[in-house]
Amino acid sequence: MYSLGSVQDISDAVAVEEEQQLAATTFNTHAGIMITDRDKNILRVNPAFETMTGYSADEVIGKNPSILKSGRQDGNFYRHMWSLIQQTGQWSGELWNKRKDGSLYAEMLTITAVRNEAGEVTHYVGTTQDITERKQAENRIEHLAYHDDLTGLANRRLLHDRLQRELAVARRHSDYGAVLFIDLDQFKHLNDALGHPVGDELLRQLANRFREIMRREDTVARLGGDEFVFILSAENKDLAHVGFEAQAVADKVLAQVAQPFSLNGHQYHITASVGIVLFPEDDEDADDILKHADTALYRAKEDGRNTVRFYQPSMQAAANARLTLEKDLREALEQEQFELHYQPQVDLDGQIVGLEALIRWQHPQRGLVPPNTFIPVAEETGLIMEIGNWVLRTAARQFQTWQNAGDGHHLQRIAVNVSSRQFQQGHFTDQVVSACEEASLALEFLELEITESMIMSNLGEAIEKMTALRARGVRFAIDDFGTGYSSLSYLKRLPLDLLKIDQSFVRDITSDPNDAAIVETIIAITSHLGIGVIAEGVETAEQQDFLQEKGCDSFQGYYFSRPVPAGEIPALLKAGRLQASRS
């Protein structure tokens, strides 16, 4: 007979076995399970976890679950997750993790904290379901809801949402944006002649071209048929600048459409018309903006197609004027309408020690066009690089002519302004050396004037170019010093010869204590750094006296001479000194 104690032992053993079998059955569920200790070191995983992640149990035991992180969730996500677990004992949610092979998977994860009788956390249990297919299906459905099925571009619904958002941002920050409404010219004829499948292929190719010219922050959408819309993000407070930018994008659109399309082994050509509206204006909403852009498009169609029209008459006039100016600039280069004037730079004795070359445009109909009118357009179109090279070569040649004639024996330098785009060219150093060699001008007579913003846009590259040219003898001056970064840290690193005090400070140095203090500080800085200094815009004797008293040793401005044509320079040089009248 069995004793009662033996029966109890057998009963307990059976209960333990049943409990172990139940635990094993539970652990072998289709859900992935991971158990960690209180320090989040993995203690055990089940087969479903191995299948889901691609890791074997041996590869993960003892490691932290962070080996699965995909990077889709940031640190704030995990901090919030663990904060909830500590507070409530559990967290559930969706996240993306990474399998052993690097592929991503979506999971529905539940993490539960296991506590002992004292309430202390002893383990964490994570239970997870792979929901990748569901999430992918949801993403496909969402994409179809907001994107055009043919081209993959944003559809009308997404366009409307983003336009409303851009409109709100523009109003909140007092910025301006633009909408371009694009319609293909005579697309119906091509569609009817070649069939809809060919027409669809053209639209797909066109969508890819549009993706190439759009910025990351902008939106391009297909409304249906052959109608497309660009939203240029509202991020500029200058309405005119936004208008010019919109015109530039529209020009790119026309250029992309004009490229031949390869369809069924044949080349086909088509054009487009573009309507532009700038926003925000008054109380218009997204529908109003699209309606105005459509009106502008209609005008473009009326005006012969393959063209661009603004909804705002004033912007249309400005765009027309700018296009005309750009055309005239190209003709000016071809027809040699540019000329250089030179403004003397003098020392304490009034001796001319340098000349700054300043470009002038003598237009046959417009007359003398101010540089501040055409230089910005030249910068935007890239013509500034050709114009800048012409200035450099012409100034070098003219300076050497004066040297050869014996007129420039007191001259120490010829100063030439360099544009940002010109300076950033990879071959800029060779361009400078070539210009001087062609003119037989010693490089130490050339002084290049650059701005602080040009340098700071890529300090390392600027130092490299300047150092290479400085080693050949070329001098460097910082133009308009005090209006940009004005940082001592970069002044120490650059091979500079001269700082030019901007005329905006010089103008009021005898009446504005702040300007006087700024100028005095700049002069002191240059003295300590061993850099020369010259004051621009000197127009009165009082200004010169103040500057001279503070230690400035060079001057430039109307008090001594205006910029004059090259033909007048020999007489000034022969006069020896420029001593302005103090009457």
Task: Tell me, yes or no, whether 423 and 552 share the same domain.
Answer: yes
Query: Are the C-beta atoms of 339 and 369 separated by less than 8 Å?
Result: no
pLDDT on residue 487: 58
Task: Tell me, yes or no, whether 389 and 423 share the same domain.
Answer: yes
- The number of distinct structural domains making up the chain is 3
7 in any annotated domain: no
Task: Tell me, yes or no, whether 155 and 232 share the same domain.
Answer: yes
331 in any annotated domain: no
Domain containing residue 420: CATH number: 3.20.20.450
Which alpha helices (DSSP H) does 452-512 contain, by range? 452-457, 459-471, 488-493, 503-506
Full domain range(s) for residue 426: 336-575
10 in any annotated domain: no
Domain end among 271, 295, 311: 311
pLDDT digits (tens, 9 = 90+) for 209-266: 999 998 888 999 999 899 999 999 988 888 888 888 999 899 999 999 999 999 888 8
What gap in Å lies between CA 395 and CA 435, rounded to an integer? 9
Would you write out the chain's pLDDT as a tens digit for each of its 583 residues? Answer: 343 344 445 455 444 454 445 445 456 677 889 999 989 999 999 988 999 999 998 999 999 999 999 888 888 899 999 999 999 999 999 898 999 999 999 899 999 999 988 888 999 999 998 888 887 777 676 766 788 989 999 999 999 999 999 999 999 988 999 999 999 998 988 888 888 899 999 999 999 999 999 888 899 999 989 999 999 998 888 888 888 899 989 999 999 999 999 988 888 899 999 999 999 887 788 998 998 899 899 888 888 889 999 987 776 677 777 778 888 899 998 898 999 999 999 998 888 999 999 999 998 888 888 888 888 888 878 889 999 999 999 999 999 999 888 776 778 899 999 988 899 888 999 999 999 999 999 999 999 999 887 887 778 888 899 999 999 999 999 887 766 555 566 777 888 899 998 888 899 898 988 889 989 988 988 888 889 999 999 999 999 999 999 999 899 999 999 999 999 999 888 876 666 544 3
- The conformation of residue 17, written as its DSSP 8-state character, comes to H
Q: Which regions of 314-398 does DSSP assign to beta strands (E)? A: 338-347, 352-363, 367-369
Query: Are the C-beta atoms of 469 and 490 separated by less than 8 Å?
Result: no
CA dihedral 157, 163, 164, 170 (to 10 degrees): 170
- CA nearest neighbour of 448 among 536, 388, 404: 388
Task: Tell me, yes or no, whether 541 and 488 share the same domain.
Answer: yes
Domain containing residue 193: CATH number: 3.30.70.270
6 in any annotated domain: no
Task: Tell me, yes or no, whether 539 and 412 share the same domain.
Answer: yes
141 in any annotated domain: no
What gap in Å lies between CA 407 and CA 569, rounded to an integer? 9
Task: Tell me, yes or no, whether 97 and 185 share the same domain.
Answer: no
Question: CA neighbours within 13 Å on the CB side: how many for 326?
Answer: 16
Task: Tell me, yes or no, whether 359 and 296 share the same domain.
Answer: no
Task: Tell me, yes or no, whether 212 and 127 share the same domain.
Answer: no
Task: Tell me, yes or no, whether 104 and 178 share the same domain.
Answer: no
pLDDT on residue 36: 92
16 in any annotated domain: no
14 in any annotated domain: no
Domain containing residue 121: CATH number: 3.30.450.20
Task: Tell me, yes or no, whether 395 and 287 share the same domain.
Answer: no
325 in any annotated domain: no
Task: Tell me, yes or no, whether 293 and 360 share the same domain.
Answer: no
Would strands 338-347 and 554-555 be described as parallel, antiparallel, or unpaired? antiparallel
Task: Tell me, yes or no, whether 261 and 383 share the same domain.
Answer: no
